[in-house]
Amino acid sequence: MSARLIQFFSLPKGCRFILIYNLLLEFSFFRFASRVTRYASRQIVFLLDLPLPPCYIRPVEAAVKKTCILFIMASLLIFSAHLGGEDMFIDKDTQDRVREYLLGKYGDDLRLRIDYGVRQTAAFWGENDGSPEEFAKFCQMNFIADPERLHALFQRLEANFETLYGHMNRIRLEFNRPLHLDQGEILPIDLRFGQIDPAAHASDDLFAGKIAFEVLLNFPSYSLAEKNGMGPDWNRLDWAYARCGDLFLSRLPARASQNAAAALSEAETYISQYNIHLGNLVGNEGQALFPTGLKRISHWGLRDQIKTLYSDSDGLAGQEMIYEVLKRIIQQDIPKSMIDRDQYIWNPYKNKVFKEGREVSWTPEPNSRYMHLLNVFKAMRDMDEFYPSLPSHVQRKFELERELEEPAVSRLLEDILTSAEARETAALIAGRLDRELRPFDIWYDGFKPRAKITEAELDRRVRQRYPSLARFEKGLRATLQLLGFAPASATEISKRIAVEPARGAGHAWGAQMRTERSHLRTRVDKDGMSYQGFNVAMHELGHCAEQVLSLQHADSYLMSGVPNTAITEAFAFIFQKRDLKVLGFPEPTASTRRLQVLDTLWMTYEIAGVALVDMKTWEWLYRNPGAKPDGLRRAVMRCAREVWNQYYAPVFGVRDQVILAAYSHMIDSPLYLPDYPLGHLIAFQLESHLQGKNLGREMERMCRAGRLTPQLWMRNAVGEEISAQPLLAAAREALEAFKK
């Protein structure tokens, strides 16, 4: 029995009934329509996990699978009859009666909308919403057949949801200011406000007021397969209606939303204050390798400090020391007194703590890292029962938020991890370093144009140009023009971005209402903006520019944005890559462009393994929902070792490393990490398309496409779907050029 079928039978009875009924109804209805039959067949193939192509079912393969499919369909029919919809308040007879009434009144041309609408509404209608007779009356009175009236309803919904989402987003932004911005002490009351989710009760109100049911009744919600299949033939209004149908995919109670907001806020606060004072570290001979007062956040700052040391002839010792710190954090045997405190001296090799020259006793961090991850998991899992068609956070993250199926993402990651190009790049790096690779060389930074520029020179150049965040914000218009945006566009975008000092590593907070601004946050040292902070700021500027363009230039509010996080990450990488250009350094040569290709490949190779650890960790959590923090710590380290041993040990020549578990996003952003390697692949495809074109004009064109599915968005942007092959082909050319 396939994994999909096992997963299917593990669902609650009510969920299984909804899925079966949906599948059978669509299959029977579309059997005479050749195009849509293909999409219905896809759903069967997806459920059974049959290895058929996504675009069509080959006749030969269909014949081979015919017996299996008939057997499974018969089994599901029997099982569906046995269930009888017992977990649904609105039974099948009531739904059929309503459906027949609407078909009789409006005709067979509206069968698709009627079938979807009645089914969707019934799936969420409970006893508190009214009797079955009231359900029937609601559907009969509120189904809209007239296209003009339907469009009027859609326009009113768009306007009101922009008001609702926009103001809730602004409330969250304001409540989280003390937690996210470096503006003084965090008070206990700040933590309490940060845990409030203004949207927690909105869903209850929208269902209680029957607004949600009116949307469910009139706007079908299509599966990912249906969107990808039918989407190319949809016009912009079809797409906007489809996104309207996605507004209510669950009936999430306020308590579940609030619990999730609290868990995420606590994890974010924990991560944002996880600083290590590098000036307080010493080696085995008592030697300090970093200046007093140098503080870096985990993991971003520590990782980037390792990167900057590649340009230092004596940087290896410092890299080794930071690597030991990262291992202590992952293992949770780091002294608690060394986290965000500078009162002690620490030897991370021997794990000894000193004060005033004397060794002192200490206690390790009490698995706080994994306690927060576990709390986030529990909060996400508490939502599962309210998503009948996507009853796990893993499924929702991939199929609902990312709109890319997990197996497809895994294949993209493995294409990079198993490539000959990655292995040859590793050998090239070892030759450039003139030593055997160390595990932290997954962050090798020597391919970048800045590799030969010292950190001190980069910091000097940044502080000269941007002595403060205010100066950086004032220069946004000129920066955007330098990147290729027309003066009017640069003015529009820069006016809609606020620049602020981050307490953590940095992030971008987008607006959800056209009257609001996007917020760019980056870390600023006490003595001013460093290169590291500027580099992060350029990354976040890419996010903010995308956020402004995809909101302000959208032809429909419900189509605003980009399809998923990986695409906005791609734009962020494109901007970040141009940081030296903004600082006035020369444009890259043909040779440095080849190095940049290898740099992209190496970054993707590194983060692809990190993403797999994140994915494996969540698989383990769902298999072990009763886990304790220490058990989770051991499991994460085991996942990290397994991924390392499979994909990195043959290249690095050392086994059982845990460094892939260092990323802080694993703790406070559940299953976010796969967006980074996807972002690198997408960014490379976008960069290839941008060769010889204007970045500003092309980015504006791409962002106007809005929330298509990722693969359709990519076809519109560059003419091909997401793939690792363009990057691997370019890396092969670069490697061959260096051999000559």
pLDDT of amino acid 670:
96
Percent of the chain with pLDDT over 70: 88
Instruction: Determine the Cα–Cα distance for residues 275 and 669; give it in Å rounded to an integer.
Output: 18
- Checking if the pLDDT of 71 tops 80, the result is no
Q: Name the more confident of 29 and 352.
A: 352
Handedness of CA 491, 497, 498, 500 (dihedral sign): negative
pLDDT of amino acid 508:
96
Instruction: Determine the Cα–Cα distance for residues 495 and 497; give it in Å rounded to an integer.
Output: 6
Q: What is the CA radius of gyration of the chain?
A: 27
pLDDT of amino acid 38:
36
Percent of the chain with pLDDT over 90: 82
Instruction: Determine the Cα–Cα distance for residues 698 and 696; give it in Å rounded to an integer.
Output: 6
**Per-residue pLDDT tens for 680-693?**
999 999 999 999 99
Instruction: Determine the Cα–Cα distance for residues 635 and 621; give it in Å rounded to an integer.
Output: 9
Q: What is the mean pLDDT of residues 158-178?
A: 96
pLDDT of amino acid 526:
80
For residue 213, which of 139, 127, 297 has the smallest C-alpha distance?
A: 139
Q: Give the mean pLDDT of the chain.
A: 89
Q: What is the mean pLDDT of residues 641-660?
A: 98
**Phi, psi angle pair for 366, to nearest 5°:** -80, 55
Confidence band, pLDDT 50/70/90 cuts, at residue 313: confident
pLDDT of amino acid 449:
83
Return the HEC string of 444-475: CCCCCHHHHCCHHHHHHHHHHHCCCHHHHHHC
Instruction: Determine the Cα–Cα distance for residues 69 and 40; give it in Å rounded to an integer.
Output: 13
Please enumerate in sequence order all residues whose Cβ is within 8 A of that of 189, keeping only pairs 6 or more positions apart, or say none.
Answer: none
- Checking if the pLDDT of 16 tops 50, the result is no
Confidence band, pLDDT 50/70/90 cuts, at residue 587: confident
- Checking if the pLDDT of 61 tops 70, the result is no
Return the HEC string of 86-128: CCCCCCHHHHHHHHHHHHHHHCHHHHHHHHHHHHHHHHHCCHH
Beta bridge partners, 297, equal: 275
**Phi, psi angle pair for 86, to nearest 5°:** -65, -25
**Per-residue pLDDT tens for 248-291?**
999 999 999 999 999 999 999 999 999 999 999 999 999 999 99
User: In 533-566, which positions are buried (b, 16+ CB within 10 angstroms) versus exposed (e)?
Assistant: bbbbbbbbbbbbbbbbbbbebbebbbbbbbbbbb
pLDDT of amino acid 559:
98
The tokens for 418 are 């198993």
pLDDT of amino acid 381:
97
Instruction: Determine the Cα–Cα distance for residues 306 and 688; give it in Å rounded to an integer.
Output: 29
Confidence band, pLDDT 50/70/90 cuts, at residue 45: very low
- Checking if the pLDDT of 62 tops 80, the result is no
Q: What is the mean pLDDT of residues 153-169?
A: 97
What pTM was computed for the model?
0.86
Q: What are the helix (H) ranges across 332-475?
A: 368-381, 393-395, 406-417, 420-433, 455-465, 469-474
pLDDT of amino acid 504:
85
Confidence band, pLDDT 50/70/90 cuts, at residue 41: very low
Beta bridge partners, 501, equal: 522
pLDDT of amino acid 382:
96
Confidence band, pLDDT 50/70/90 cuts, at residue 438: very high
